[in-house]
A and B are shown apart, each in its own frame.
Chain A
Amino acid sequence: MPQDAAGTVGARMNPQVDSLIRAAQRGDQDAFEQLVRVYDQSVLRLAMNLLRSPEDARDVYQEAFLRVYRNLHAFRFDCSFHTWLYRIVTNICLDQLRKRKVRKEEASVVETSDGPVDRMDLFEEEHAAADPERVTWNRQLGSRIESALSGLTPRERMVFELRHYQGLRLRAIGDILGTTEEAAKNCLFRATQKMRGVLGDLV
């Protein structure tokens, strides 16, 4: 199944997914594993982009799917499985983001001779034979974007990630975060305003 199928409307009505859930609810571990494989890449991608750390993303993955495993019996098909799963994942990620805010951590930013740089950008550059000027420019832009994103509240950050990178509609995001479409809309608006404020001269 394509990676992003988990986030589409089609997947929400997918009878194959429904039968996997039912089989997993009956204790079928193969079905549970297949169910995980339908959604896990988009979950990991969300965590990677939010937390910018493979180690933290790995922890989110483990915690989220274990919670799914422990609580799957309570899933009653009264919302889509995608929504239910993403409620769990976003709660865990929001906790992580809030803890970082309290500790004033920026896990992904490291100091280099060119100034603060997104660790994940360095990771990407190891595999790219880019020209030095472009690398420097990308690093500057990357660290400015990181700084713009770290100025968002955890909730604004989450709404932005779900809309921009995961391509979910604001209505679905509202469902996941237990809020209204209007509130999600306001969050997205504030997030883009703040980012444009910080990045104004670069973009």
Chain B
Amino acid sequence: MTCESALALIPLYHYGELTPEREDWLEAHLHECGSCSQAMDRQRALTRALDRRELQAPPLLVEDCRADLMAAIQGGARAPSHGPWTLFLEALGATFAGLGRMRQPLAAAALVGLGFFGARLTGSKAATAGNAVQPAYTTVRSISTTGSGRVEIAVDDTTRRVVSGGLDDPGIQQLVLAGSREDNPAVRVESVDLLKGRAASGEVRDALVNALAHDANPAVRMKALEGLKALAGDAQVRQVLAQALIKDDNDVIRMQAVDLLVAQRDDSMVGVLQNLVQHEDNHYVRLKVEKALKDMNASVGTF
């Protein structure tokens, strides 16, 4: 290693952002090179000087900011430049600007619009707005302005109904299964959470397998993984667990997946585990895999 490349690595070393191999190289060089070692000392001195400059937010400022924010949200008078009406217009502007992409039900838009007014407005106007919005999901299809400055908005309304019943009810279970495929991740999390205790049913198991393998949201995948724990001996479930172990970018999911996979000896997993141990960054997962391979008398490396 040359001094030039060592100097380039010093800031990243200082912030703990080097790979272990590069760290080893640099430490060996610093041990031998006086001038680079002095450069490291200067980096530490710079850090100390910068640390002295750090400011903390004064508690009174924090309290003031919180009060201003909540006043602005609730329509108070403390933030005249961001009064509730301006905010409402801005919120509408933001909503309209995103119409091309937006397929959110108006329940979401209501959070933007009515949220500012809900706590304050009373009387017939508020009631009208509430009645117009609450019982329906509304999608805005088009907006145009007329010559007189009025706005014409075409909306599709879908009425909402509430269904209740136990999870043993096949109708309810079908709705919860449909919920596990909804766009809204909050609905998917709740649905998969309800389904996870019923993995004995083939349809539920398929939904959990699908959620673990494909859901974009880690909280949903985590719930699905919990639901599949009881089926960790099943070949198809083990395939999905192995896939999660290799591909899932969430450390906690990989840690749980490896625990389930190595809990029982399975020689068909040797190849997957050997491959994984070469690439895995997570220390816990790597240790688990190495131990499982040793327990199976398999080599930790590949040939």
Residues of A within 8 A of B (CB): 9, 13, 15, 18, 22, 25-27, 29, 32-33, 36-37, 40-41, 44-45, 48-49, 52, 54, 57-58, 61-62, 65-66, 69-74, 76-78, 118, 120, 138, 141-142, 145, 163-165, 169-170, 185, 188-189, 192-193, 195-196, 199-200, 202-203
Contact = CB atoms under 8 A, between A and B. Distances in A.
A71 B219 CA distance: 21
Contacts of A9: 251
B62 A40 contact: yes
Interface stretch (B66-74, B135-143, B239-247, B272-280): B66-74
A49 B49 contact: no
B291 interface: no
B262 interface: no
B90 interface: yes
Given A27-B114, A202-B49, A49 B217 contact: no
A13 B54 contact: no
B57 A170 contact: no
Contact of A196 (B46, B66, B98, B185): B46
A66 B82 contact: yes
A32 B74 CA distance: 12
Contact of A203 (B42, B79, B184, B251): B42
Nearest to B57: A44
Interface of B: 8, 11-12, 15, 17, 42-43, 45-50, 52-58, 61-62, 64-66, 68-70, 72-74, 79, 82, 87, 90-91, 94, 98, 104, 108-112, 114-115, 118-119, 184-186, 189, 216-219, 251-252
A57 B110 CA distance: 30
A128 to B, nearest CB: 12
B137 to A, nearest CB: 13
The B interface, classified by DSSP as helix, strand, loop or mixed, is helix
B73 A69 contact: yes
B55 A48 contact: yes
> Which one of A71, A72, A74 has the greatest number of beta carbons of chain B within 10 Å?
A74
Contacts of A52: 55
Nearest to A138: B52
A4 to B, nearest CB: 11
Given A18-B219, A185-B17, A120 B68 contact: no
Given A29-B74, A54-B58, 18 more contacts: A18-B189, A27-B115, A29-B119, A33-B66, A45-B57, A58-B64, A61-B69, A62-B69, A69-B73, A74-B104, A76-B217, A77-B217, A138-B52, A145-B50, A185-B17, A188-B11, A189-B12, A199-B49
Contact of B53 (A73, A145, A192): A145
17 contacts: A15-B219, A18-B189, A22-B186, A27-B115, A33-B66, A33-B70, A36-B66, A40-B66, A57-B57, A62-B72, A66-B72, A71-B112, A73-B109, A73-B112, A202-B49, A203-B42, A203-B48
A141 B50 CA distance: 10
B62 A141 contact: no
Contacts of A61: 65, 69
Q: Nearest 10 A-B pairs (CB), nearest first?
A: A73-B108, A192-B11, A44-B57, A203-B45, A77-B185, A61-B65, A73-B111, A22-B186, A48-B55, A203-B46
Contacts of A118: 53
> Which one of A32, A37, A65, A73 has the greatest number of beta carbons of chain B within 10 Å?
A73
Given A61-B65, A77-B217, A188-B11, A27 B110 contact: yes
A40 B65 contact: yes
Nearest to A64: B69
Contact of A193 (B11, B15, B52, B189): B11
Contact of B61 (A57, A77, A193): A57
A32 to B, nearest CB: 8
Contact of A45 (B55, B90, B219): B55
Nearest to A124: B55
A44 B108 contact: no
Nearest to A121: B53
Contacts of B87: 66, 70
Contacts of A65: 69
A188 B217 CA distance: 31
Given A45-B56, A145-B53, A192-B43, A78 B111 contact: no
Given A45-B57, A73-B108, A189 B65 contact: no
Contacts of A120: 55
A45 B64 CA distance: 14
A140 B109 CA distance: 53
Contact of A41 (B47, B54, B57): B57
A56 B244 CA distance: 45
